[in-house]
Structure 1
Amino acid sequence: MGGGEEDCRTIPAIDLKKFPEAEEYRKLREASETWGCFRLVNHMIPPALMSEMISVVRSLLDLPMEIKKQNKDGITGIGYRAPSIVNPIYESLWFDDLGSRQALDSFCSQLNASSYQREVIEKYAQAVCEQTVDIGQKLAESLGLADNDYLKGWPCKFRINKYNFTPESVGSTGLRSHTDPGFLTVLQDDEIVGGLEVMDKSGTFVAVDPCPGTLFVNLGDVAQAWSNGRLCNVKHRVQFREARIRVSIASLQRGPDEEAGVEAPPELVDSEHPRLYVPFTYEDYRKLRLSANLHAGEALALVRISS
């Protein structure tokens, strides 16, 4: 589902209807190596469901503060992020495992979600999980991996974001430049209000303008390590351009479960491409990024094998 390539400017567009054409695999690999991000057109999530989900997300983020504060996970510490002195216009709601019925039920119960809201979230969660696995498999295939089950079962975090752009904040940064720590993020961005920017190979930030009906995919630090340096972890930020409310829905695929380490498959390691990174777990790497206060991919240097 979704808009055509002619509607998408600058950022590469990957048309899922064109697989398994070799040319589309080439485009996917090239976009992932050069940009670290791409648009998905003709994807699995029906337009009506995307529209319903945005409405549900807006209503949840408009809930009273005392209800939103109930969104928390005692194990991971993930939950509602309220506006702060550092970032007074940004807030988000989280839960830790998009594929877990228990986690989804807990999230909905914390926010007193109606049966309709719960139903929409469940349908969306199932569709975006299937889409995430599908694009991960296609990425593995684009790298020449015969076994494309590597990415199955990798859990996804779920986060909904709200930016309250005020006239005073126009021109400032709403979310600082960073890379995502995990493997990939599937983003349903605001279809009206822009602000997302990605860094290209020259180090210049490029605007990712709204492209209705599409999904935006960006790769993170785990993708760069897992691919033995072939895939690009893209730096991105949110920049205020107009005084409006902006919302987005992010499904963040982390990496292998906690017992398994992030490690390049043997097919991606040879004499011309020696192993670049020591194996690490996603959680250890996330903590390393936090403790070192390195949020834009620099922490990968701390797990790099010295030559």
Structure 2
Amino acid sequence: MENERVPIIDMQELSGLTEKIVKACEEWGCFRLLNHGVSLKLLSEMKTVCRSLLDLPLEIKKENSPPGHAGQIYRPPNEANRYFEGLSISDMTSPAAVDDFFTQVGVTPQQREIILKYSQALHDLAKYLGGKIVEGLGLSGVDRFKDWPCQFQMNKYNYSPETVGSIGAIMHSDPGFLTVLQDDELVNGLEVVNKFTGDLVSVDPIPGTLVVNLGDVAKVWSNGRFYNVKHRVQCYQPNIRISIALFVLGARDKKVEAPVELEDSEHPRLYIPFDFEEYRKLRVSTKSPTGEALELFRATNSVST
């Protein structure tokens, strides 16, 4: 295991902040945020809500949530990820999807308030980071990620003494653009692949911080400049592990593609435009958890990297 750590970026240090974010996106596809603006109280409250909902009886979690359905809310353990389960809201920008989740899982008014407040805080943070990325790449100030759907997910890893050393979540890249993750401040396990060496690097938890991962869409949108970080979760210790994530997915009602400003004679378009939902289904059908399916959209004038 490499001793090298993923970048840690203090958002209160405004000098050079944009450059640090872009560099981390290019070299690691992952970074940890200090002083991100989401209160410690809200982080703690959300973790409590996540644990209480995932501790519900199985029949409640599975209610009206058939496996494989587009609106599936509960993800039970499976052959690949035997100790992982999750609850998901397919799109936090869709009031119908949010209401469906609250109804099916039976959240209390207090839990509803915390989830909405928390998800909005993470969404605001994701939009701020998107603005910094746009600025750092020298693009215009237009909100290029307006109305992009955002999936909200609560995860629980059911670890025990017998599972130590096992895989909690298989190696994968996220299919979307950007993920804001609250990892467990007490139970480690997240590991990322170093872009340059291929080594696995442990992303050690720091209480009160958040992790940002770049996904497959970010690699395409940046015309290959950003790294869609490959990562997994290991079982280091026999304790329940909780994590919460907001996934900024792909553009709604338009193709995923690199802005024309990021193309020139020295940097030709690497990928042809594609529909995000079609790509996400293709990842599943071709069994491409680490973004291998992107090669199917590689432009004919580019060379594989």
TM superposition score category, shorter chain reference: over 0.9
Does the CA contact (< 8 Å) of 1:104 and 1:122 recur in 2? no
- For 1:70, the equivalent position in structure 2 comes to 63
Matches within 5 A, 1:216-235: 216-235=211-230
Q: What is the deviation of 1:14?
A: 2.0
The 2-side partners of 1:44 and 1:104 are apart by: 24
Letter matched to residue 268 of structure 2: P
- For 2:286, the equivalent position in structure 1 comes to 292
The 2-side partners of 1:28 and 1:92 are apart by: 29
**Greater CA deviation, 40-49 or 101-110?**
101-110
Q: Per-residue CA shift, 1:53-88, capped at 9, x if unaligned?
A: 000000000000011112638972432111234433
| Residues 71 and 192 (structure 1), Cα distance of their counterparts in 2 relative to 1, 3 Å cut | farther
- For 1:61, the equivalent position in structure 2 comes to 54
Percentage of identical aligned residues? 53
Letter matched to residue 90 of structure 1: F
**Greater CA deviation, 186-195 or 136-145?**
136-145
Letter matched to residue 59 of structure 1: S
Letter matched to residue 14 of structure 1: I
Give the counterpart of 2:127 among 133, 156, 180: 133
Does the CA contact (< 8 Å) of 1:16 and 1:41 recur in 2? yes
- For 1:279, the equivalent position in structure 2 comes to 273
Letter matched to residue 223 of structure 2: N
Q: Is 1:106 the equivalent of 2:91?
A: no
SS state at 2:213 partner: strand
Does the CA contact (< 8 Å) of 2:80 and 2:170 recur in 1? no
Number of equivalenced pairs: 296
- For 1:4, the equivalent position in structure 2 comes to none
Give the counterpart of 2:154 among 139, 151, 160: 160
- For 1:147, the equivalent position in structure 2 comes to 141
Letter matched to residue 101 of structure 1: P
The 1-side partners of 2:65 and 2:126 are apart by: 24
TM-score (norm 1): 0.93
Does the CA contact (< 8 Å) of 1:162 and 1:248 recur in 2? yes
Residue segments in structure 2 that go unaligned for 5+ positions in a row: none
Does the CA contact (< 8 Å) of 1:99 and 1:129 recur in 2? no
Letter matched to residue 160 of structure 1: M
Give the counterpart of 2:12 among 9, 17, 23: 17
Q: Per-residue CA shift, 1:17-51, capped at 9, x if unaligned?
A: 233x3x22111111100000111111131111111
The 2-side partners of 1:85 and 1:226 are apart by: 33
Q: What is the deviation of 1:180?
A: 0.5
The 2-side partners of 1:234 and 1:66 are apart by: 35
The 2-side partners of 1:16 and 1:126 are apart by: 18
**Greater CA deviation, 214-223 or 79-88?**
79-88
The 2-side partners of 1:138 and 1:68 are apart by: 38
SS state at 1:18 partner: coil
- For 1:5, the equivalent position in structure 2 comes to none
Does the CA contact (< 8 Å) of 2:176 and 2:216 recur in 1? yes
Q: Per-residue CA shift, 1:81-101, capped at 9, x if unaligned?
A: 112344331111111111233
Does the CA contact (< 8 Å) of 1:98 and 1:129 recur in 2? no
| Residues 152 and 14 (structure 1), Cα distance of their counterparts in 2 relative to 1, 3 Å cut | farther
Does the CA contact (< 8 Å) of 2:90 and 2:150 recur in 1? yes
Does the CA contact (< 8 Å) of 1:197 and 1:205 recur in 2? yes
Letter matched to residue 29 of structure 1: V
The 2-side partners of 1:285 and 1:85 are apart by: 23
Letter matched to residue 49 of structure 1: L
Give the counterpart of 1:40 among 26, 30, 33: 33
SS state at 2:75 partner: coil
Q: Is 1:240 the equivalent of 2:235?
A: yes
Q: What is the deviation of 1:134?
A: 1.0
- For 2:297, the equivalent position in structure 1 comes to 303
The 1-side partners of 2:176 and 2:81 are apart by: 23
SS state at 1:288 partner: helix
Give the counterpart of 2:44 among 32, 47, 51: 51
The 2-side partners of 1:280 and 1:265 are apart by: 14
The 1-side partners of 2:273 and 2:143 are apart by: 19
